[in-house]
A and B are shown apart, each in its own frame.
Chain A
Amino acid sequence: MTDLHAAALIAVIALVTMALRFLPFLIFRNRKTPAYIAYLGRVLPYSIMGMLVVYCLRGVSFANLSGWLPALISCAVVVILHLWRRNTLLSIIGGTVCYMLLVQLIF
């Protein structure tokens, strides 16, 4: 493994990532955004956030209690904290501390 090849790998990964980010903007740059795309833009954020939550929890396993209970309890803590105070930082820190305590001390 040479440093040159490592640098080439980084360049390729950076370019593909950049292409994916710029493509939608380049395609629809000079025309009015089509109604269908505008519709997707309005509803997609809600769907994508649902998808990312599932993505984060993709590793939960129902084979034993420790595979899913800490994540379930901590997610519930996040939801309850957020419905109660609606303070983003509090919800995140509360949920994360809860999860760390659960996996380190109990499960």
Chain B
Amino acid sequence: MKPNTLKTAFLSTLPVMAGYVVLGTGFGILLQSKGYGLLWSVAMSGLIYAGSMQYLAVDLIAGGAGLITAALTTLMVNARHLFYGVSMIDKYKNTGKFKPYLIFALTDETYSLNCGNLPAGVEDGPGYYFLVSILNQCYWILGSALGSMIGSVLPFSSEGIDFSLTALFVTVFVEQWKSTKDHLPALIGAAASVLCLVIFGMDNFLIPAMILITLALTAIRKKEEDRHD
């Protein structure tokens, strides 16, 4: 693995570092407040490694939820990972020994970094994808451990810092918008989601939105492929 690949991967993951350390710390603090310490937060961030689901898991654990409830909740909250997988099949095809970990570590943020073209100057695709994936999980585990240790004592108000995740997605959205002349898929994604948000409400709109997006993309396939050729 060339040092250049590591440097580029590190620079690419800096925005995720900011988001993950902060959100991971929040998770650690939350879990600590329910009586589960460092070992638990590190184990969860190492084994589950799914941000919004881990926040939910704190509630499930603290409330003593049943195993079936936990399984169904996870299915609903994390179903979007099926989509990430589908769109990464070709990209991760020849990644050899890295492949199982790359698939395991395919979070929203890792997906947003690895789904685009390789940065200029990077030739070792699999190595780059692996470094991005493992650096991101290190940030997440680091944040979780930090949260467990510092508890709820903070020197300044961090209110609003969770906006960093919104800012990350908006940035990637703009970046993708600039990289193509075909804006229809992006517009479909946003419009279908807003529509489903209005109809189904903020707790239940993701699954209907994903179904609607798939249907809409299927409906315009002929037109899109003519344009692409």
In the complex where A43-B217, A54-B197, A82-B174 touch, is A49 in contact with B186 (Cβ < 8 A)?
A: yes
B164 cross-chain contacts in A, Cβ below 8 A? 92-93, 95-96
A41 to B217: give the CA distance in the assembly, Å.
11
Q: Across the two chains, which residue of chain B brings its CB closest to A49?
A: B173
A50 cross-chain contacts in B, Cβ below 8 A? 173, 185-191, 193
A104 to B160: give the CA distance in the assembly, Å.
8
A84-95 contact mask (Cβ, 8 Å, vs B): 1 or 0? 001011011101
**CB contact list, B55-69 vs A, under 8 A:** 57, 60-62, 64-65, 67
- Residues of B in contact (CB 8 Å), total 93
Question: Do the beta carbons of B190 and A53 come within 8 Å of each other?
Answer: yes
B14 cross-chain contacts in A, Cβ below 8 A? 88-89
**CB contact list, A50-106 vs B, under 8 A:** 50-59, 70-71, 74-75, 78-79, 82-83, 86, 88-89, 91-93, 95-96, 99-100, 102-104
Residues of B whose CB lies within 8 Å of any CB of A are 14-15, 18-19, 36, 40, 43-44, 47-50, 53, 57, 60-62, 64-65, 67, 70-71, 74-75, 78-90, 92, 99, 103-104, 106, 108, 111-112, 115-116, 157-161, 163-176, 178, 180, 183, 185-194, 197, 202, 205-206, 209-210, 213-214, 217-218, 221, 224-225, 228
